[in-house]
Amino acid sequence: MIVLGIETTCDETAAAIVRLAGDGRGEILANEVHSQIKDHAPYGGVVPEVAARAHVEILDGLVKRALNDANLKLSDVDGVAAAAGPGLVGGVLVGLTTAKTLALAAGKPFVAVNHLEAHALTPRLTDGLPFPYLLLLVSGGHTQLLAVRGVGDYKRLGTTIDDAVGEAFDKVAKLLGLPYPGGPAVERAAERGDPERIPLPRPMLGRPKPDFSLSGLKTAVRMEAEKRMPLNGADVADLCASFQAAIVDVLVDRIRFALRAFRDATNEPPRALVVAGGVAANGAIRQALVRLAAEIGLRLVAPPPALCTDNGAMIAWAGIERLALDMKDELDASPRPRWPLDQSSAAAYGGGRLGAKA
């Protein structure tokens, strides 16, 4: 089975083609990603109208390139999948309409993919990971701990009640005068800093429900920065290192509690701890997760950074998983700006900048 996947929920325009390989994993035949970082950098964050316009301009060409890279015609694919949410509605409309048109023209099934499900299923594309597993999804738009029990079967164990982790990195970078996107800039500055110089809170530490709250931490960074104005290079480095250390402590603590909740939500222990999302590129966070996984005797699966950040291959793969179970969608499927993976969990206040209250 070969599926074309389209992603336009935020600031990456992406089209990819994935084939279901004999060993049950995915073989990526093409993976075209156009990052709009340059378009949004002057504003210090993603501007929805700018994103939607860029998706319109770029998507057709990317789909053509993906087909070309894979040496395939549209008639060779077995289905067309697009992320239908959660995300910015203008962008989602562009990807959804394009995918429906291609599916209709080629007479192929169409799949409306939940963007979060695509992140959640990526370790099956890369590693053929069996269910169930514990997923830490940390990006600019989402911060969640999920028990992944099967395709379409997710239990949200914890979520952020305000900012997403990547969003907190971006906001801290902005208030310290570092460039956008903030995550890589904060990580670089932190390498030169003292993580213990500036005392910062670890919000939610020790709470049994593995939720997150990061806006207070961001405010604490702002207050510590204001005390030291004008900031010199060492101040910025120490603030970044101290902030990153607080994030690491919070993530490790929340995962420990999520493991307990996992056992209640699923009758078996997790087969692995999986980390996905743009923040998973952070070296200090990765190192802490490696240590934690070794300590608790769990396999750690961290897909390569290019498949952790938003991409079309994960959408195509989710399309493959759903089509294999005969779960296709009608052409009147609507965009879903808010689309929780676990419909049984109450909406969280906040929930990241994409309003992904899953």
Contacting ligand KG4 within 259-278 (CB under 6 A): 277-278
The 310-349 contact track toward ligand KG4, x by CB under 6 A, reads: x---------------------------------------
Name the segment binding ligand KG4 (CB under 6 A); options: 78-86, 151-159, 165-173, 291-299.
165-173
Q: Of 3, 4, 6, 10, which one interacts with ligand KG4 (CB under 6 A)? A: 10
Closest CA to 217 of 177, 186, 172: 172
Q: At its nearest, how many Å lie between ligand KG4 and the CB of residue 185?
A: 8
95 binds, among Zn ion, ligand KG4, none (CB under 5 to 8 A by kind): none
Q: At its nearest, how many Å lie between ligand KG4 and the CB of residue 141?
A: 4
Q: Which residues contact 143 (CB under 8 A, 6 or more apart)?
A: 137, 159, 160, 163, 164, 165, 166, 212, 214, 277, 352
Handedness of CA 43, 46, 52, 57 (dihedral sign): positive
Output 132 or 182, the one with its CB closest to ligand KG4: 182
| CA 342 from centroid of its chain's CA atoms | 16
Q: What is the DSSP letter of 195?
A: T
Q: At its nearest, how many Å lie between ligand KG4 and the CB of residue 7?
A: 10
Q: Tell me which H or E stretch contains 156.
A: strand 153-159
Q: Does 139 interact with ligand KG4 (rule: CB under 6 A)?
A: yes
Output 5 or 182, the one with its CB closest to ligand KG4: 182
Contacting ligand KG4 within 181-220 (CB under 6 A): 181-184, 187
∠335-44-310 over CA atoms, to 5°? Answer: 40
**Measured distance CA(338)–CA(355) in Å, rounded:** 6
Q: Which residues contact 41 (CB under 8 A, 6 or more apart)?
A: 179, 180
Q: Which residues contact 237 (CB under 8 A, 6 or more apart)?
A: 189, 190, 191, 192, 193, 194
351 binds, among ligand KG4, Zn ion, none (CB under 5 to 8 A by kind): none
Q: At its nearest, how many Å lie between ligand KG4 and the CB of residue 105?
A: 30
Q: Of 95, 109, 140, 210, which one interacts with ligand KG4 (CB under 6 A)? A: 140
∠145-122-286 over CA atoms, to 5°? Answer: 60
Q: Does 282 interact with ligand KG4 (rule: CB under 6 A)?
A: yes
201 binds, among ligand KG4, Zn ion, none (CB under 5 to 8 A by kind): none
Output 98 or 282, the one with its CB closest to ligand KG4: 282
Tell me whether strands 110-114 and 79-85 are parallel, antiparallel or unpaired.
parallel
Q: At its nearest, how many Å lie between Zn ion and the CB of residue 356?
A: 9
Output 20 or 51, the one with its CB closest to ligand KG4: 51
∠348-219-279 over CA atoms, to 5°? Answer: 60
Output 202 or 286, the one with its CB closest to ligand KG4: 286
311 binds, among Zn ion, ligand KG4, none (CB under 5 to 8 A by kind): none
169 binds, among ligand KG4, Zn ion, none (CB under 5 to 8 A by kind): ligand KG4
| CA 88 from centroid of its chain's CA atoms | 14
